[in-house]
């Protein structure tokens, strides 16, 4: 099916979780990423609409205080979570707060080691839909 989440077996996922649901390269080369931010177990529980509505307002407003990459934060129709859509893949040049003033072990950081670990993690994205063993 064309809709990514329609190809996910909702009976086998274990909520709560955050899952990379899709990455798209647009015609002019821009990249957008979509995350499945699942709050409740599908077909078992759901969020009540007042909670969905308030979470959506809170996240939509406050997330933009921290990132200009936020395109959208939308509730799922099934009321089990949200989709977060961001512009581009994040690029980092330093580890935030990696110093003795802001961190309890400021010297114990490595941006290159973190980038290498994340690269390996991202290389396995084809298996990410298998949320359960």
> What is the structure's pLDDT at 133?
67
- Fold observed for domain 1-91: Gyrase A; domain 2 (3.30.1360)
Q: What values do phi and psi take at 23, rounded to 5? A: -130, 130
Checking DSSP bridges between strand 17-25 and strand 70-75, what pairing results, if any?
Answer: unpaired
pTM, rounded to two decimals = 0.70
Would you kindly state where each structural domain of the chain is located, as residue ranges? 1-91, 92-128
Low-confidence ranges of the chain (pLDDT < 70): 90, 133
Q: What is the pLDDT of residue 119?
A: 77
pLDDT at 68: 92
């Amino acid at each position: 099916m064309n809709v990514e989440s329609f190809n996910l077996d909702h009976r086998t996922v274990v909520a709560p979780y955050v899952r990379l649901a899709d990455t798209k390269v647009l015609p002019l080369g821009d990249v957008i990423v979509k995350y499945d931010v699942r709050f409740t177990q599908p077909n078992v529980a759901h969020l009540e609409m007042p909670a969905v509505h308030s979470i959506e307002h809170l996240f939509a407003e406050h997330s933009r205080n921290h990132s200009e990459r936020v395109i959208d934060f939308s509730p799922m129709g099934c009321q089990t979570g949200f989709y977060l859509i961001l512009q581009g893949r994040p690029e980092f040049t330093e580890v935030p707060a990696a110093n003795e003033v802001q961190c309890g072990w400021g010297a114990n950081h490595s941006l290159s080691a973190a980038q290498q670990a994340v690269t390996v993690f991202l290389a396995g994205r084809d298996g990410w839909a298998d949320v359960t063993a």
